[in-house]
Chains A and B, each alone.
Chain A
Amino acid sequence: MVTSALVAAIWAHARRDHPDEACGVLAGPADGDRPVRHIPMLNAARSPSFYEFDSADLLALYRDLDDRGEVPTVVYHSHTATEAYPSRTDIALASEPDAHYVLVSTRGPSDDEFRSYRIVDGIVTEEEVRVTDQPRVE
């Protein structure tokens, strides 16, 4: 479950960085499965076919998450010329077994390819994306 505002924030970032891939995180409480905060990250690769969080930014991100008791509930990136499905590289490098890996595709003009996966030990499992207009209610 993700709010429409966070979905819109990912699309805005992906469109802004196109034709390079955009990447970032939706952070949420460690004890839940609802992201609450959008953290756009710099794609240090600045590439239309690869992304990598900048090394120093990565350390700062995880320190901040640890301090807040948060985790990267969602790790997202865009594909700029292909479908929103994990590439072989995405699968090989996926290293957050508890995260939802969100992919969006900016290959076309409409914001309609927003998909989510678990990637664990090389196995990709797509999952339904449920979007809500309501902020977190628990």
Chain B
Amino acid sequence: MTVSVRIPTILRGHTDGAKTVPGEGATLGDLLADLDSRHAGLSDRIVENGALRRYVNVYVDDSDVRFTGGLDTPLSEGASVTILPAVAGG
């Protein structure tokens, strides 16, 4: 499945400044591995110990993947994946 991925400002150092990059994968986990093969270090900023980092939100189309299977969330052709760091603090 080919999808488009919106990269947040703070991670664009991994994508030569690109705001949107293409990627491939049957699941979100596959997609992150594919992205990391071309944008080294990107996956580590999103995944920790095999799970999504607490303060990074990932959406497939309109859904937060925390509610759709996390890294196992399936991707459909042409899906829109959005990565957004949480806006949070104390």
Residues of chain A touching chain B, judged by Cβ–Cβ distance below 8 Å, are 23, 25, 41, 45, 49-53, 55-56, 58-59, 62, 66, 72, 75, 77, 86-90, 93-98
Contact = CB atoms under 8 A, between A and B. Distances in A.
A52 B84 contact: no
A89 B84 contact: no
Secondary structure type dominating chain A contacts: mixed
Contact of A94 (B64, B66, B89): B89
Most buried by B among A23, A41, A95: A95
25 contacts: A41-B87, A45-B88, A50-B89, A51-B89, A52-B87, A53-B86, A53-B87, A53-B88, A58-B86, A58-B87, A59-B57, A59-B59, A59-B84, A62-B84, A86-B89, A89-B90, A90-B89, A90-B90, A93-B85, A93-B86, A95-B85, A96-B9, A96-B10, A96-B85, A97-B10
Contact of A50 (B10, B64, B88): B88
Interface of B: 6, 8-10, 55, 57, 59, 62, 64, 66, 82, 84-90
A133 to B, nearest CB: 29
A25 to B, nearest CB: 8
Contacts of B66: 55
